[in-house]
């Protein structure tokens, strides 16, 4: 039986963090045996917000190393760079003819980014969901393992796929966000405001490259309060976040102990944060150390990039040929 096709990407805009790990990378690793997986580093996408490319090469290699350290096997999945596949840019061009200014302007991430960079509201930022659709459709993927922040983009990708199929003929499946049937994940930042992110909220984000002391420092600074004064109180959002983070890396019994303490109004947040910090250190340290070792072998990473580009282009070429055929751009 043919394996179902999966695509997902990560922007090389900084060090990868726990949000990237639990929203995306963990599923990449879980899917690599059962699915036909294409995972990429989205270097074109990073240019929409990071026009200065001095750090780009480093960030691309870091992202590759961190993904491999997290368990991705470049022999099992196709691991490549977005800019290695010119066919994606061609598909992006066709899809742009089916994307309307009004719907793009309404996209939440576009509005957010324009607020953050009012002097650089470029067309690439506006058409980000179109390029993301091209990334997915170029391999005709059905599943896209992503975090909750990408839900709206996936809905747009389905719309664009439908429009293409309707206008030129059936070619693309309608891609679905994927988390093994569970709700998509949003890993909250430690200050209780928003999600962990590569370039915003850095002191409230735990990066896979953070050293043990920095992890402890960040966790101990997480927002708490004096604790509940009555049993079975309602839990404030920022405390729920700490429980959510704990449930990602700690034993169930540890989470339950602090939940019981909270309900008994006897919780000591200092103790809870100390336990969380130690479990975070235990979780992040092996990934960080492995990533450092892989990152120091540039020759190996170059090989991964080259091998990935060859495999990804083979699949992309087939899609572009059929796309041109359906549109009527087949002159010889
Ligand atoms: N906090 C998060 N929780 C769950 N999933 C998350 N993802 C990102 N943050 C969280 C998922 O990681 C994948 C890669 O997304 P990205 O490259 O867009 O990551 P980012 O950290 O949000 O980085 P940006 O957009 O590059 O952020 P800034 O603006 O900080 O520079 C996706 O599957 C995403 O869902």
Helices 269-295 and 237-249, axial angle in degrees (round to 10): 50
Q: Whose CA is nearest to atom 10 of ligand 1?
A: 19
Structure confidence at residue 332 (pLDDT): 81
The CATH code belonging to domain 210-291 is 1.10.240.10
Tell me the residue length of the chain.
332
Please identify which of the residues 113, 223, 303, 318 carries the catalytic annotation. Answer: 113
**Cβ contact 10:65 at 8 Å:** no
- Our answer on whether the CB atom of 43 is closer than 6 Å to any ligand 1 atom is no
Whether 217 is a known active-site residue: answer no
**Cβ contact 69:291 at 8 Å:** yes
Structure confidence at residue 22 (pLDDT): 96
Per CATH, which fold does 5-185+298-327 belong to? Answer: Rossmann fold (3.40.50)
Q: Which letter does DSSP use for residue 85 in this model? A: -
- Our answer on whether the CB atom of 131 is closer than 6 Å to any ligand 1 atom is no
Instruction: Give CA–CA dist 113/126, Å, rounded.
Output: 10
Residue 10 CA, chain-centre distance (Å), reads 5
For 51, the 3-state DSSP assignment is coil
Ligand 1, closest atom to CA 199?
A: 30
Half-sphere exposure of 88 (CA within 13 A, CB side): 24
329 Cα to the center of ligand 1, angstroms: 36
Which of 6, 24, 49, 204 most suits a substitution to test ligand 1, by most atoms within 8 Å of the C-beta? 24
**Structure tokens belonging to residue 199:** 């370039």
- Our answer on whether the CB atom of 147 is closer than 6 Å to any ligand 1 atom is yes
Which of 198, 199, 204 most suits a substitution to test ligand 1, by most atoms within 8 Å of the C-beta? 198
Ligand 1, closest atom to CA 149?
A: 35
Half-sphere exposure of 122 (CA within 13 A, CB side): 11
* CB neighbours of residue 259 within 10 Å: 15
Structure confidence at residue 243 (pLDDT): 97
Structure confidence at residue 133 (pLDDT): 98
Q: Which letter does DSSP use for residue 6 in this model? A: E
Structure confidence at residue 187 (pLDDT): 96
Whether 257 is a known active-site residue: answer no
Residues of the chain with pLDDT under 50: none
How does pLDDT run across 63-118, given as a tens digit for each residue?
Answer: 999 999 999 999 999 999 999 999 999 999 999 999 999 999 999 999 999 999 99
Q: Whose CA is nearest to atom 35 of ligand 1?
A: 147
**Structure tokens belonging to residue 28:** 């990449």
- Our answer on whether the CB atom of 67 is closer than 6 Å to any ligand 1 atom is no
Structure confidence at residue 260 (pLDDT): 98
Comparing CA positions, the residue from 32, 45, 25 lying closest to residue 78 is: 32
49 Cα to the center of ligand 1, angstroms: 13
Helices (H), 70-138: 86-96, 101-105, 108-116, 123-126, 128-137
- Our answer on whether the CB atom of 199 is closer than 6 Å to any ligand 1 atom is yes
Comparing CA positions, the residue from 25, 68, 120 lying closest to residue 288 is: 68
Instruction: Give CA–CA dist 146/150, Å, rounded.
Output: 6
169 Cα to the center of ligand 1, angstroms: 33
Whether 223 is a known active-site residue: answer no
Delimit the domains of the chain by residue range.
Answer: 5-185+298-327, 210-291
Residues 6+ apart with CB under 8 A from 212: 281, 285
Three-state SS annotation for 242-267:
HHHHHHHHCCHHHHHHHHHHHHCCCC
For 112-150, letters b (16+ CB in 10 Å) and e give: ebbeeeeeeebebbbbbbbbbbbbbbbbbbbbbbbbbbb
**Cβ contact 83:47 at 8 Å:** no
């Amino acid at each position: 039986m043919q394996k179902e096709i999966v695509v997902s990407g990560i922007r090389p805009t900084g060090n990868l963090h726990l949000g990237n790990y639990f929203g995306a990378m963990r599923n990449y690793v879980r899917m690599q045996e059962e699915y036909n997986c294409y995972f990429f580093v989205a270097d074109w996408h990073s240019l929409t917000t990071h026009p200065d490319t001095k750090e780009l090469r480093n960030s691309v290699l870091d992202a590759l190393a961190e993904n491999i350290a997290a368990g991705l096997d470049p022999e099992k999945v196709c691991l490549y760079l977005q800019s290695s596949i010119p066919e994606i840019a061609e598909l992006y061009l066709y899809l742009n003819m089916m994307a309307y200014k009004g719907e793009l302007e309404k996209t939440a991430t576009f509005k957010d980014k324009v607020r953050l960079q009012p002097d650089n509201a470029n067309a690439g930022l506006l058409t980000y969901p179109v390029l993301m659709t091209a990334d997915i459709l170029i391999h005709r993927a059905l599943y896209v393992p992503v975090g909750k922040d990408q839900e709206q983009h996936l809905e747009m990708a389905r719309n664009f796929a439908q429009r293409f199929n309707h206008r030129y003929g059936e070619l693309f499946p309608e891609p679905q966000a994927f988390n093994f049937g569970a709700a998509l994940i949003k890993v909250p930042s430690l200050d209780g405001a928003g999600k962990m992110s590569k370039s915003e909220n850095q002191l409230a984000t735990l990066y896979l490259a953070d050293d043990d002391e920095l992890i402890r420092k960040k966790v101990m600074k997480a927002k708490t309060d004096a604790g509940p004064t009555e049993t079975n109180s309602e839990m404030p959002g920022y405390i729920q976040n700490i429980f959510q983070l704990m449930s990602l890396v700690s034993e169930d019994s540890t989470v339950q102990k602090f939940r019981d303490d909270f309900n008994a109004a006897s919780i000591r947040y200092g103790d809870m944060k100390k336990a969380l910090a130690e479990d975070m250190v235990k979780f992040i340290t092996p990934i960080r150390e492995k990533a450092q070792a892989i990152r120091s072998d540039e020759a190996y990473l170059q090989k991964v990039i080259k091998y990935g580009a060859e495999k990804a282009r083979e699949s992309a070429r087939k899609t572009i040929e059929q796309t041109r055929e359906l549109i009527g751009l087949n002159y010889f």
